[in-house]
Amino acid sequence: MSDADRERWNAKYEGAACEGTTEPAAHPLAERALALPLPDGPVLDLASGPSGSALLAARAGRDVRAVDISGVALARLAAAARRDGLSERISVEEADLEVWRPPADAFALVLCTGYWDRALFGPAARAVAPGGLLGWEALTEAARRARPSLRAEWCLAEGEPAALLPAGFTVLEQGDVPGGAKRRLLARRTAAPGGADQ
């Protein structure tokens, strides 16, 4: 991630704030995952943006760690958390996901929507606690065919991301969002004996 990319994201979020954009809605994948059985433990939201998903998880009683390169997006999330009395539940971390890596086995739910980095996927999957869920949505090769300016490394190849899951995961669902420009994965890590299951 270059400084120019960081500034681009900050400018995008600053622009959205100027336009009076309201709090983003929780991502459908977050809604789906939080409605399923989950083990105890926090939620990790990667490339969170201002994240309605983080707010939804916190309202559901989860501690949430939100990581993003954009300080502007994270400040918006922190302000929304303060407004809603959720500051104790949501921690924000400004970091570059090209280098930042989560701790292993630590999160009931790891969520990443709107971002793809093959090198991050394995560590993110290993950050899921036994019995926990991994939810991911990213652009596909079809999106790049429609918008050739998209970099290849930002787009899922056929079968990804499920094809890249480490052993010990069951795919609950993987499919293209109507239009085919994005693909969604929801997968569960095998539970420890007696833990949460599908």
Ligand X SMILES: C[S@@+](CC[C@H](N)C(=O)[O-])C[C@H]1O[C@@H](n2cnc3c(N)ncnc32)[C@H](O)[C@@H]1O
Q: State the residues that interact with ligand X by CB under 6 A.
A: 1, 9, 24, 27, 47-49, 68-70, 73, 96-98, 113-115
Q: Euclidean distance between the first and final Cα of the chain, in Å?
A: 37
Residue 114 or 195 having the CB closest to ligand X: 114
Residue 120 or 196 having the CB closest to ligand X: 120
Nearest-approach distance from CB 130 to ligand X, in angstroms: 25
Residue 97 or 185 having the CB closest to ligand X: 97
CB-closest chain residue to ligand X: 114
Nearest-approach distance from CB 51 to ligand X, in angstroms: 6
Q: List helix spans (H) across the chain.
A: 3-18, 28-34, 52-59, 71-83, 118-126, 141-146
- What's the rounded Cα separation, in Å, for the pair 129 and 13? 32
Both tokens assigned to 154: 């930002």
17 to 10, 60, 191: CA distances (angstroms): 11, 26, 41
Residue 12 or 59 having the CB closest to ligand X: 12
Q: Directed axis angle between helix 3-18 and helix 71-83, to 10°?
A: 40
Nearest-approach distance from CB 117 to ligand X, in angstroms: 7
Nearest-approach distance from CB 191 to ligand X, in angstroms: 27
